[in-house]
Amino acid sequence: MYQNLIVTGGCGFIGTNFIRYVLEETDFSGRIINVDILTYAGNPLSLADIADKYGDRYVFVKADICDYKEMLSVVEQYDVDSICHFAAESHVDRSILHPDDFINTNIIGTYNLLKVAYEKIETIKRFHHVSTDEVFGSLGAEGLFREDTPYAPNSPYSASKASSDHLVRAYCETFGVPVTMSNCSNNYGPYQFPEKLVPLMILNALEGKALPVYGDGQNVRDWLFVKDHCIAIWEIMFSGVVGETYNVGGRNEMKNLDVVKVICNLVDEVAEPLASGESRESLISFVKDRLGHDRRYAIDCNKIDAELGWTPSESFETGIRKTVKWYLSNMDWSESVRTGEYQNWIKENYL
């Protein structure tokens, strides 16, 4: 169905995993054009072997989604017929400190892509927009986010994503752009930037460093293994109904503190013991809570299950074990990110 697919933000965590999944595990025979501006979380080294293996079926373009003319040129140059839009600033703490970046990328960038899709509406077959459960705000002790849950974002990040969601829906309803959308829960897995909870805790636990947990650690999130998310997006792009939104969840609600404890126990299993002889749970420290920290998120993903037959394959226990093993086996990748060495490679090759 698709021959020339743009993946925006393809050097980021989920984008990298999505490109790998599509090229390595599906019957897609076309070309992927990875468009990424290479902000701090974009790492083209994560796809270096893909570039070598797939030749001209994988193209990297360093470009800014906030530049309409540049994006229109990319779409025209590569005869693009589909767009999967991951590119976004996504870290809540950073959105509190520097909201301008989130407004520009998440709102203006999405708007520019929609304008391009409308300009090329005769050839664009699908525009899939990847969003987050954070647009729905905070749940109480009971209930789940459904596709029709009213939006109530509480951080600059979630507000910017909510705005982009509304723009995507509007371009479908007003201009006929063939969009689908998905709102996902917390992703974890290989290639995740170490500022996020799971990789930060894995790497700190390995090194015997403090494991900082916000507030009382009782905030609840639904955890989704990244490959399960990629499979869901691909299914939506092929079988989802234009104009529809699909919630993608892991059906794995856990308190943040419990997530950290599971990671500690796994690292204790596979790594050298601490010099003190104590469990890595002894490294847990509670720090001042994040501003506007939503208490609980939980996704109802029954719609995508009923209509498209997708359900997550990984439990948190199986997914987190795979994740810990991946970081243990790819310490060179983690080290290049944590030291900033990957940025030197980017400067040498793309700047």
Q: Which residues are catalytic?
A: 133-134, 157
Give the total residue count for the chain. Answer: 351
Contacts of 334 (CB under 8 A, 6+ apart): 194, 199, 203, 327
